Amino acid sequence: MSSIAIITVVVGLVLVLLFILGLVAMMFRKVGPNQALIVYGFGGTRVVKGSGKVVWPMVQHARELSLELMSFDVAPQQDLYTSQGVAVNVEAVAQIKVKSDPVSILTAAEQFLNKDPAHREGLIRLVMEGHLRGIVGQLTVEQIVKEPEMVADRMRSNVADDMSKMGLEVISFTIKEVRDNNEYILNMGRPDVASVRRTADIATAEAERDTAIKRAQAMREAKIAEAVAEQEKVIAETASQTRQAKATRDLDLKRAEYDATVNVQRAQADKAYEIQANVQQQKVIAEQVRIEQVRKQGEVAVQEAEIQRREKELIATVLRAAEVERQRIETLAEAERQRQILQATGQAEATRLEGQAQAEVTKLRGLAEADIIQAKGAAEANAMHVKAGAYQEYNQAAVIDKLLTGMPEMVRAIAEPLAKVDKITVVSTGGDGNGHGAGAGMNRVTSDMTTMIAQVPALVEALTGVDVADLMRQVPPIGKAIDGTGGANGHAPVNGSSLPDPGTSALTKPDDGISNPSG
């Protein structure tokens, strides 16, 4: 055999082998894990899942069956009636697949192999809706709405037998929605909504109440802290004011003591000087001592009245004012007791201490003034006592000397009104009726003044009861002169050499203020 023939044979064998292999590959059917291959014909019915098998043509035939999960809605068109007779519409979602065991796959193949997916799902939906109707009829609306898991569990347990007979299994069943046309479900939830709303309102009110309580507690604690701080401040201010009042009081007391000592020493020195001066001049001012004694007695009475007035004024102005101020402060403190009890107490204490300090200072001043007045009165009394002793030693010559010394002052006092006259107009007829000639008008003025001055001894006698003429007679030279001139009645004019000229002292007046129309 030639090589060409051999090659031809080999090529033919290869081609035949390749044809056989291609033919076998064409007859080999394979499926994935989500499918099952139903091979029937020669050799019986066999199930191939997740692998492959050669299907011999003309003697065998193969069909594929899907093992994937089927999801579809279960929503009956008619209303479902619960055990209460309430019509509801339930929508659910079911997840179903063919079981994986060969028996179930063969059972499913027997039921659905020649049916399309829509037809197959329609059959399954009818079975599911029938079982759902039976389950809803055994339950109430509240159970369906509030316990959907329980409904799903019952649905899976009731449908399991029928699905198993079709080679199927229920993976899940979930109720998607429950509705009714009578608003039963809506009204059913209202009590719960109202309860929840009431609970929420109660919780809100309680929270607001707790917040208000906490806020009030915080404000109260803040007010307490503020009041404590204010009390401490008032206590500190009161203590400071008390110390200041004490220091001021001590200073015033020391100052009053020093002033009293100085005033006493000054009064003693002044009075000693006055006493010495009075002793040295007692013979010169003997008559003035009597007048001074009367005046001093009046001053003593005035001073005693002034002391009583000052005591009463002290009682009225200081003590009563302090008492009124204390009562006012106590009244204000009682009114403000709840708010500022410590402050009112501090102010009352400070006021009381200040009143005591003022009262003590006033008392010391009053005592010092009383000592001064007492020392002054004692010195004046001693001076008057000395003057009185001097008066006891006076003789007639001294009395006459005092009378004659004071006579010009009396005449000057009598003529003083005339000195205050600005202008005198004298109307004269040329005579005074006694034979006097011109100029009688001006002479009448001086004549009247002389007559008034001549009445001075009579005035002295009327005031004192002392006869001036008798006193004059007891002086030998003057008595002889009086007897020689016939002035026995005691009212004759005294010799011009012994009496001052009254016209000189009383009518010292410029001539510009007097006009004489007759001259």
Q: Can you give the pLDDT at residue 213?
A: 92
Question: What average pLDDT does this structure show over 199-220?
Answer: 90
Of 303, 269, 281, the C-alpha closest to 387 is 281
Q: Given pLDDT bands bounded at 50, 70 and 90, which one contains residue 283?
A: low
Question: What average pLDDT does this structure show over 453-470?
Answer: 75
More confident residue, 52 or 488: 52
Paired tokens of 283? 């013979």
Q: Can you give the pLDDT at residue 441?
A: 61
212 residue type, one letter: A
DSSP for 155-208, please give it. HHHHHHHHHHHTTEEEEEEEEEEEE-SS-HHHHHHHHHHHHHHHHHHHHHHHHH
Paired tokens of 260? 């009293």
Q: Can you give the pLDDT at residue 369?
A: 81
Question: What average pLDDT does this structure show over 117-121?
Answer: 83
More confident residue, 509 or 360: 360
Q: Output the furthest CA–CA distance in the chain (Å, rounded).
A: 240
Q: Can you give the pLDDT at residue 498?
A: 40
According to the per-residue pLDDT averaged within each range, which of 167-171, 182-186, 436-440 is highest?
Answer: 167-171
Range in 14-18, 81-85, 481-485 the model is least confident about: 481-485
Q: Given pLDDT bands bounded at 50, 70 and 90, which one contains residue 166?
A: confident
Percent of the chain with pLDDT over 70: 80
Paired tokens of 162? 């029928």
Beta bridge partners of 65: 36
Q: Given pLDDT bands bounded at 50, 70 and 90, which one contains residue 375?
A: confident
- Sign of the alpha-carbon dihedral angle for 317, 319, 322, 325: negative
Question: What average pLDDT does this structure show over 226-253?
Answer: 88
Is residue 475 within 8 A of residue 400, CB to CB? The reply is: yes
Topology annotation, domain 69-182: Tetrahydropterin Synthase; Chain A (3.30.479)
Taking 70 as the threshold, does the pLDDT of residue 509 lie above it?
A: no
Taking 80 as the threshold, does the pLDDT of residue 165 lie above it?
A: yes
According to the per-residue pLDDT averaged within each range, which of 120-129, 261-270, 321-330, 436-445 is highest?
Answer: 120-129
Strand blocks (E) in 261-362: none
Q: Buried (b) or exposed (e) across 272-284, using 16+ Cβ within 10 A?
A: eeebeebeeebee
Tens of pLDDT, residues 124-141: 888 888 888 888 888 888
Q: Can you give the pLDDT at residue 202?
A: 92
Tens of pLDDT, residues 65-118: 888 888 888 888 888 888 888 888 888 888 888 888 888 888 888 888 878 888
Question: What average pLDDT does this structure show over 231-240?
Answer: 89
Range in 157-171, 231-245, 372-386 the model is least confident about: 372-386
| Alpha carbons 426 and 447: distance in angstroms, whole number | 14
Of 154, 163, 95, the C-alpha closest to 127 is 163
Question: What average pLDDT does this structure show over 17-36?
Answer: 79
DSSP for 324-353, please give it. HHHHHHHHHHHHTHHHHHHHHHHHHHHHHH
Beta bridge partners of 49: 36
Instruction: Specify the 3-state DSSP secondary structure of 372.
Output: helix
Domain definitions of the chain by residue range: 3-64, 69-182, 250-392, 396-515
Taking 60 as the threshold, does the pLDDT of residue 452 lie above it?
A: yes
Range in 46-60, 222-236, 422-436 the model is least confident about: 422-436
Question: What average pLDDT does this structure show over 189-217?
Answer: 87
Beta bridge partners of 515: 425
Q: Can you give the pLDDT at residue 475?
A: 65
Of 151, 128, 149, the C-alpha closest to 139 is 151
425 phi and psi angles, rounded to 5 deg: -110, 120
More confident residue, 55 or 124: 124
